[in-house]
Chains A and B, each alone.
Chain A
Amino acid sequence: MSADVKADFLRGLHNGVPICLGYVSVAFTFGMMCTENSMPFWIAVLISMTNLTSAGQFAGTALIIGGGSLLEIGITTFVINIRYLLMSLSLSQRIDPALSIPKRLLMSFGVTDEIFGVSMQSRGQISAAYFFGLMTAPFWGWALGTLIGATAVSLLPAMVRSALGIAIYGMFLAVIIPPARTERALVWVIVIAAMISCIFYYLPVLQQLSSGWVIIICAVLASSFAAIKWPIKEEEE
């Protein structure tokens, strides 16, 4: 490892620490949610280590718990994670064009909202060593947080555990509400998606459709409507 590569890696490692701390607490909640729904702790950790994502992994896991079909789980997770196409695309234009395929494949695994966001803040070309350093601490924080959350919950009394059922929804709200405060279009996306979801939940014939497909329908309708009515500006990318 040359001095430059080492320095880049260490700089990335350093910048990844704040992301790691955030990930530990979110993953902790995820781990609790899994165990609360009778999932073995090691599967929760396996999900975190192979997926390394928030919303998609939560949604997919919620569908697993509900016994959804593999097709539903795959499509739902894919639809949520489709935004990574854009991040990966932006990133592809900031790296060395000569970078080898194996390095690109490994970097791809670390494309999360936060890691991507921090990596794009640095000036000029993003080196592979820097990106590898940046994704290291968050990856282990995500895995470890899940392990602690998943194993700690079984030590809790039953009354506390029944209250934990709402945790994942609280987490979802904490993801969608803060940005909606300053962006009207997001308020409409959320309201429309929630309304369509209720329609499918309560109307007699429609309620036979399983939750994964309802989510896909809600996402496509609400997002298309908003994309037509409020196309994003460049700076929102």
Chain B
Amino acid sequence: METGYPYLYVLSAVAVMAIVTYIPRMLPLTLMRRKIQNKFIRSFLYYVPYAVLAAMTVPGILYSTSNMVSAILGLIAAVFLAYKNKGLLLVALGAVAVVFITEQCMLFL
């Protein structure tokens, strides 16, 4: 554990996350008995997770390693493995392996 870690900030953020995660799960189950009829809202909610994750990945993934060459190769590996329907862990570790190998190779260039 590092000294000077911002515990207050981090724990507050965790509490906020826990509350806003619980509320949408809890409200309909405890209160509502009726189905949302509005097609736009239902469609919008369906697409939201994909948009959020895409926005978080691009361009962030390009700056997630020590250099952009390894990041791009890692991105290609991840897209390929995900497209082949490999599981979350395999896709993640596949990208990590490609980045690791690339960075090791670049040490000798």
Residues of chain A whose beta carbon lies under 8 Å from any beta carbon of chain B: 22, 25-26, 28-29, 38-40, 43, 46-47, 50-53, 55-57, 59-60, 62-64, 68, 70, 73-74, 76-93, 95, 97, 101, 104-105, 107-109, 111, 159-160, 162-181, 185-186, 189-194, 196-198, 201-202, 211, 214-215, 218-219, 222-224, 226-228, 230-232, 236-237
CB distance from B49 to the nearest CB of A (A): 6
- A163 and B81 alpha carbons, distance in the complex (Å): 17
Residues of A within 8 A of B15 (CB): 50
- A160 and B101 alpha carbons, distance in the complex (Å): 10
Highest count of chain B CB atoms <10 Å: which of A74, A164, A173, A190? A173
B40: contacting residue among A172, A189, A227, CB under 8 A:
A227
A171: contacting residue among B5, B55, B92, CB under 8 A:
B92
Closest 7 CB pairs of A and B: A227-B43, A218-B55, A174-B91, A170-B95, A194-B58, A177-B82, A163-B100
Closest to B20 in A: A78
A-facing residues in B81-109 (Cβ within 8 Å): 81-83, 85-97, 99-100, 103-104
A59: contacting residue among B24, B56, B83, B96, CB under 8 A:
B56
- A190 and B82 alpha carbons, distance in the complex (Å): 14
CB distance from B92 to the nearest CB of A (A): 4
Contact call B43/A231, Cβ cutoff below 8 A: yes
Contact call A56/B17, Cβ cutoff below 8 A: yes
Interface size for B (C-beta < 8 A) is 82
- A219 and B5 alpha carbons, distance in the complex (Å): 31
Contact call B47/A189, Cβ cutoff below 8 A: yes
CB distance from A220 to the nearest CB of B (A): 8
Closest to B77 in A: A170
Contact call A168/B92, Cβ cutoff below 8 A: yes
Contact call A223/B44, Cβ cutoff below 8 A: yes
Contact call B36/A175, Cβ cutoff below 8 A: no
Asked if A231 meets B40 with Cβ closer than 8 Å, knowing A77-B16, A80-B52, A83-B49, the reply is yes
Residues of A within 8 A of B45 (CB): 82-83, 85-86, 223
Contact call B32/A92, Cβ cutoff below 8 A: yes
Contact call B13/A73, Cβ cutoff below 8 A: yes
Residues of A within 8 A of B24 (CB): 78, 81-85, 88
Contact call B89/A29, Cβ cutoff below 8 A: yes
Contact call B29/A167, Cβ cutoff below 8 A: no
Contact call A74/B78, Cβ cutoff below 8 A: no
B17: contacting residue among A77, A87, A168, CB under 8 A:
A77
- A104 and B22 alpha carbons, distance in the complex (Å): 12
